[in-house]
Structures are given as structure tokens and as C-alpha cells.
Chains A and B, each alone.
Chain A
Amino acid sequence: MASTPLSSDSKHGGHSHVQPVWLLLGNMLWLMVLLIITWWASTFDFGNVVINNVVAMLIATIKAVFVIWIFMGVMHASKLAKIWVVAGFGFLFLMFGILGDYATRQFEPVSGWETNVPNGGASSFPRQWPPQKKPEQVGENFRPRG
């Protein structure tokens, strides 16, 4: 059982880098200092709400990087693991690009498109199946289908 130590090859090869206690302990203490800074920053006004939010998220991101880099051992991981970690958070960043769509939605409904189209302009596809017969719509551009 455990009395036979792992071969030296497997102990030092790959990802089995043994992290020193001072690094792990120091990282924890540093994260706790950052936590206190997080709380302090939340009580402090940096100028406006946008900057206050950016500061809060910046501190949280710094904490996250220290957890990932040291506690999760990405520091000593292979290049493949590193690139996969970065790509993973890259996907998250891309997903937040959806907010760009919401930010530009004020243009809808475009004037002239709210009425005079079947289904009230909401969608050209019926949401109910089987499609409900719509009440007769009257409008200058309305053209009955079929």
C-alpha cells in the first residue's frame, strides 16, 4: 500500500508538481486580504456607479486568477491545460456579447413595423400549434395569405 512511494518519475513528471506550504498559505492569506478590500471598496464611492461596479468585479477577477493559477495548479499545468482554461473563460466572455444585442434593442419596434402585419408584428411563425385563426386584420399593407 502507501508504504511504497510513487516512482520518482511520476512524482516529478506531468502535473504532479508538489506546491510548497508557504505558497498555499500565502495565497489563502492574500485572498482574505483581497476579500477585506472587496468589502472596503463596496463602502467607498469611487465617483459613479459604473466605476464602483468595475472596481468590485476587478477585485473579484484578481481573486479568481489567484485561485485558478495557484490553488488549481494551472501555474504548473501543461500548455494544453492552460490553453483550455483560457479558452473556457474566453467562451464566457463571448457569451456576454449577447448583452450587446439587448443594449441595442431600443430600436425595436421600428416605426411602421408595429402594425399592419399578421400576428401583430411579433413573429411570422405561429407560436401555437395548430395555429389559431387570427382575427381579420385591417391595414393598408395587409395582404391575406394563401
Chain B
Amino acid sequence: MAAIASDHGHGHGHDEALHHQFENMEQQNDSYIVGMWTFLVTEVMFFGALFLIYTLYRSMYQMDFFLAHEALNVQMGMINTFVLLFSSFTVAMSVRYAQLQKRGGVLAMLGITQVCALAFMVVKYFEYQEKFGHHLYPGPGFGSHPEYLHGATPNFAQLYFGLYFGMTGLHGLHVVIGMIVIGYLMAKWWRNSPMVTKDYIPTELVGLYWHFVDLVWIFLFPLMYLMPKP
């Protein structure tokens, strides 16, 4: 702590991005990062509860979940995973450019991320459209075309598709929120707002959120699309 006290007034205090309640940029940045991770931990628990429900019901109805999952399109899931992994890279690059204060680089990388997010949602749209066409959405009409159930018991297949739509839908909602936040961040960079140009932290925090979205998908993809035969 002595180091922090002695640092104060040696240039740190004059940093434009430093807010008055912090000793120096190091402490301020650390507070932001820990704060963002606190939010992400609540998100981990939020999705974690759904993964818990999934684990429980899949262990109870292994064969039915396996048969029902055969309705999913693995190629589309693979494409979406590649797209999200690539977008995680472009977001990490945008944070790098923000640290180096290269506005063009930040805007280009965030722009590519937006294209990836849009591509992800378009693929998701086609997947959902197909499932709705096959009457695989939970509700009174579920399984009215039994040929798409691949032999699974309708009630348990409905449980699987309830979890599928619930979990991938919530993940998709996070992608849409990410697109809105990244759009706002891009607008700030576009207008040369000192909020983002003088301090790389806003770009870093948005990046952390986007990586979390990628993280959820890393688990959703094998659990929903690539089940081993029981």
C-alpha cells in the first residue's frame, strides 16, 4: 500500500481518465475488472442453474435426449462455434487496439465482431425456423409430426427441446445484447469520445462480456449437438 501512496501525485493523479475516488489508474482499472467479473460470476450462476437442470434431466432420460438431439444440425452448430471463436479473437484485438489508441483498428475489429454476431443469429434463425417447421417447440402442438422425434418419447423429447430453446434462446439474447453494447461502443469510438479514447477500460469490459458469451457456447455446443450414444 505504501507504493500506492507514494505513486499518488507522480503523474497518475493527472491522468484524465482517473476518477477522484481512486488512488491511481492501476487501482481504478482493477476495480473495474473485478466489478465486471462480479457481474460475470452472477451470469455463470444464471446459466449454471440451467446447465444443472440439463444435467439432471439428461441423466434421467439419456436415450430420449440422445434420440431427440439427432434433430439438430451439427454442421450449423459447428459453423456457429467457429464464428463465435473468431469473434472472440476480433474482440481481443479491438481491446489491444484500444490500449494502443488506434481508433481505426478498434472500429474495424468491432465491426468484424458485429458481422460475426449477425452471422451467428442468422444461422440460429434458420435452425429455429426448421425446428418450428417440424413442430419441435414445446407446447400443445409438440410432436405432431412424430417422424422428427427420431423415436424419442414425446414428453421427454419435449423436455429436451424446452432446454434447447431455453438455453440457446437465452444465449442468443446475450448475443443480441452484446451487439447493442458493441454498437454503442463503436458509436463512442466513431465520435472520438474521451470516455473510450482516453481509457481502454470500456472496450475491455465489453470484450469480457463478449468472451463470456463465447464461453457459454463452448459448453452448449457439445452438450446440445454432440451427445454420445448412451
Q: Which residues of A contact B (CB under 8 A)?
A: 1-2, 5-7, 9-11, 13-16, 18-19, 21, 24-25, 27-28, 31-32, 35, 38-39, 42, 45, 49, 52-53, 56-57, 59-60, 63-64, 67-68, 70-73, 77-78, 80-81, 84-85, 87-89, 91-92, 95-96, 98-99, 102
Contact = CB atoms under 8 A, between A and B. Distances in A.
Given A10-B25, A63-B218, A88 B40 contact: yes
Interface residues of B, number: 67
15 contacts: A1-B192, A18-B100, A19-B96, A31-B85, A39-B74, A56-B226, A57-B219, A68-B211, A72-B208, A78-B34, A91-B44, A92-B48, A95-B49, A96-B52, A102-B56
Contacts of B73: none
B90 to A, nearest CB: 9
A5 B86 CA distance: 29
A71 B78 contact: no
B41 A84 contact: yes
A19 B92 contact: yes
Given A39-B226, A84-B37, A71 B197 contact: no
Contact of A21 (B27, B96, B215, B221): B96
B194 interface: yes
Interface stretch (B9-17, B128-136, B170-178): B9-17
Summarize B's interface: helix, strand, loop or mixed: helix
A91 B101 contact: no
Contacts of A77: 33
Given A57-B222, A88-B41, A10 B49 contact: no
A80 B15 CA distance: 23
Contact of A10 (B12, B45, B56, B88): B12
B198 interface: yes
A28 B86 contact: yes
